[in-house]
Amino acid sequence: MIVLDRREHGGLDEHIRKLGVPVTVMELEFGDASFTGSGPEGECTVGFERKRLSDLINSMKDRRLSGYQLRGCWNAYDFVFLVSEGIYREGSGGEIEEWRWDRGKREWGWAPLYSDGRPEERSAVSYEQLDHYLTTLELKGGVVVKRTRDEKETARFYVSKWKWFNCKTWDQHRSHDVLYHNEPMPSKAHGSKWGRAHGHDEEYERTGRGMAQIIQANPTTAWRWASDLPGVDRKAEVVAKHFGTARRMANASEKEWMEIDFGMNRERTKRNPGIGKVTAQAVIRAITEEGA
């Protein structure tokens, strides 16, 4: 269930219900929406601070957002998202232009955004200034920033995140941790060293720098090969560690494939599914049959 703060929900609750997710409205001490879901250590809490563009600018300038609201969210939730709601772009002079209704012209159009006061008394807010502020929140404050067009898209974003945290366990999200086989097969940077004894601790590809790390070891030959066998896929790392070498894997019997221990899930409530009889037979056919 998604919980919306009663002071901010507007028509969000109806948009969320239409998307098929239960919602309730109450007063939240911090954040404008929250829910519970599956995290890396079991159940976790997720909070959202929602800011329309003008409020985002003002709370940036008076330090209310980062100095009070986001600090409160970090104390209350395990994961924090900042939703910037509104349509804006960079103007010709570097200022933020907002898409809004012009009462005088009685039409929609782009107009410079001012933090407060009358336009003739204040300069427009810089696009770069806002971008730098949000980048600092993301890279140094650990806040995930999302821009949405309007209230309807914000509701869709809440629902999408609710499904991500609730329709799978944390360990089941593996899109970031897959192998890509280009042509020809990478040789783990050994070159001519393959012809003589050598170590196997070299990297054959860079896995990322800074916070953008791929959380996996450098794939061995056995691991890469196992990932291409029928029915193995994401189990390849465990399979490779079990057999140790590609030769042992190729010579393994059906029984040996079925005896691989994949351990317990993170919550230690049940064992991870292993290699069944049908998969074991398919693997052996793929390895031993000509043309497979």
pLDDT at 242 over 70: yes
* Cα distance between residue 258 and residue 124, in whole Å: 67
pLDDT at 271 over 80: no
* Whole-structure pTM value: 0.71
Whether 191-288 and 2-89+124-172 are alike in CATH topology: the answer is: no
Is residue 99 exposed (0-12), middle (13-18) or buried (19+ Cβ within 10 Å)? middle
* Cα distance between residue 95 and residue 98, in whole Å: 10
Q: What does 79-132 look like in DSSP terms, one character per residue?
A: EEEEEEES-EEE-TTSBEEEEEEETTTTEEEEEE--SSS-GGGSPPPBHHHHHH
Fold observed for domain 191-288: DNA polymerase; domain 1 (1.10.150)
User: Looking at residues 71-82, what average pLDDT do you find?
Assistant: 95
pLDDT of residue 193: 55
* Cα distance between residue 15 and residue 33, in whole Å: 14
- The domain spans of the chain are 2-89+124-172, 191-288
* Cα distance between residue 2 and residue 11, in whole Å: 14
pLDDT at 117 over 60: no
Assign 266 a pLDDT band (cuts: 50, 70, 90): low
Fold observed for domain 2-89+124-172: Rossmann fold (3.40.50)
